[in-house]
Each structure stands twice: as C-alpha cells, then as structure tokens.
Amino acid sequence: MALLAVSNLATEFKTQAGPRRAVDGVSFAVERGEVLGIVGESGSGKSVTALSIMGLIDPQVGRIAGGSISFDGQDLVGLRLAELQALRGRRISMIFQEPLSALNPCYTIGDQIGEVFVAHGDGAGPATRGRVLELLKLVHIPDPEGILRRYPHEISGGMRQRAMIAMALAYTPDLLIADEPTTALDVTIQAQVLNLIDRLRRELKLAVMLITHDIGIVAQYADRVAVMYGGRIVETGPAETLLIAPQHPYTIGLLASVPRLGTGRSRERLREIPGTVPSITELVPGCRFAPRCAHRMARCGEQAPPLEARAAGHDAACWWTGAA
C-alpha cells in the first residue's frame, strides 16, 4: 500500500465568475522512501495540490470539491481539524516556498521550532530546547546556539530555509512536502538546500513530494515525476524514462527550454513554449494545453484526453502519438 494515494482530487475556489477548479481530477501515489517530483509552470496547480493534502485550503475562499487523499490508509478529506493537526508536523510536514513569509518575524528561530513540540503536547523547557539544538545541528546550521536566539530577518535566506527544514523534521515525519524549497535563493545555496533534503531523506528514510517549476531539479533528485498543467497531470512515470523519452508536448517543451552547457546547444537560443498557463477563471475546452501546442488537432479543442499508458509505468494525457 502506498504511503500517500491521491485519487481524482478536485479543489475549487470562489471567483467572480463562480467556482473554478485549480486542481481538477488529479491522481498519484507516493511510496514509502521515494521522491516524487511534481513539475510545471506557476499556476499549474502544484501548490494547491500540496495545500489540499495538508488540509490548508482556506474554507472562506476554497474547498476540496471531490476525490480522496489517503495517507497510510486513512482518508484525510473530511477529517476534523483536531485530527489533521495531530498529523501535521508529526507524520506529514511541509516546507513552504518563502521562509521569510512563513516564519513569524516576532519570534526567534528557537521559539518557532520549539512551538512544533509545544503544539503536539510535549511542552517547552530545557528538554525541548535541547531537541531544537539537535535539529539545527542536523541541518548543518553553523553556531546553532546563536541562531536559536535570532529572529528570521537576522539570518540569511539559506539559513532561514534550513531552519524551516529543521522545523519540518521535528518529529521525523513519514512524508515531507517540499514546495519550491529553493525559490529566491542563490544558485549555490539552492544546491546546498536540495542536497541537504536529499541526504536527510536517505538517512531518515522519508518519502518526499518535491514541487518545482525546474525540470532540471526533478531530473537530479526525483525517482518518479508527475508533470502538471492547468490543474491536471498530463504525464507521469519513472524519472529515467519520462525525461529521456517524454510523451507529452508540454513535457517536451519544458525539457527543450533547459539550458545545456558543454555541448553545441550551449550556444543556441533557449526554446520557449509560446503563450501562458490559463488562469483559473478561463474555461478551456478539451486539452488545456492545446492553445499552446504545436501538435494540436481539432479533437484537442473538443475532448480532454485521458491519462493512458505509453510504456510500463509511464502515462500521458495526449491525443498526439508522435512521441510514442
């Protein structure tokens, strides 16, 4: 049994035009100990999928409109808040995109990490302080005693992200959701953070959902990949086969837009995918990628293609079969 199994998930938000789905019929699974990379442009529905799993969709503006989210055999959809809070931070944790926004500027780093233990009934005091120090050492923060007493604005972006990782690992969760964990970090710091997550997931035997817009990151760190576009998964499969032999034009376009060094292509202009991801208020009939697709046919604008097998464990939702 998969650790996490998402089936036909639909999450919608209120708009002036009425309810609109940001996630529409998404299904995937995460096995114990593996890394699932979820990749796609901004607005594809990646973060909303993660927030749905965590039960963090604000009921004032949105809701889960259908589907199921099974975690270790328990359906998370419809759980009471207290039941969700018992899971969050202990068995499922999330690293958010921007640590400076996720961290409270009025509390020290030590207090905020310690709050995880307080929230789960372990209380404050010297024992909790010792556990916080161990977590800061675990994520290789220099001078953990000093960082413990500092406020978020007093440390670098890389250190803030390490503090967020320490907070997420407080109880060694079974599943770690990393939502664009290197956004706004320098390239060298990005590599440090991603290598840290990879090392810790191996040492602690975590399952990881790695959400990113950078297909190069999933190529390096993911075991399997799910490509999202317009609130749907358009292709999924093992990283080594999906990235070598992509079957969906969107995946092909993402790969073609990645700069390559050390080859003749390094002097070529980067290839782009024309157009933009449709907004949540746009109702695109048929395949949502069709308006941007070089291989679109009449059928593409009329009927949404199902996610079907192209190879062993490798599925794509596309009427075009030219890449098969």
The two beta strands, 4-13 and 207-212, are: unpaired
Rounded distance, CA 85 to CA 81, Å?
6
Q: What is the pLDDT of residue 11?
A: 98
Closest CA to 179 of 161, 201, 196: 161
Say which amino acid occupies 274.
P
pLDDT digits (tens, 9 = 90+) for 237-277: 999 999 999 999 999 999 998 877 665 555 567 788 999 99
pLDDT digits (tens, 9 = 90+) for 40-97: 999 999 999 999 999 999 999 999 999 999 999 999 998 999 999 999 999 999 999 8
DSSP 8-state symbol, 80: -
Domains of the chain: 4-91+171-232 (3.40.50.300)
pLDDT-derived band of residue 186, with 50, 70 and 90 as boundaries? confident
pLDDT-derived band of residue 228, with 50, 70 and 90 as boundaries? very high
pLDDT digits (tens, 9 = 90+) for 282-295: 989 999 999 999 99
Global pTM reads 0.94
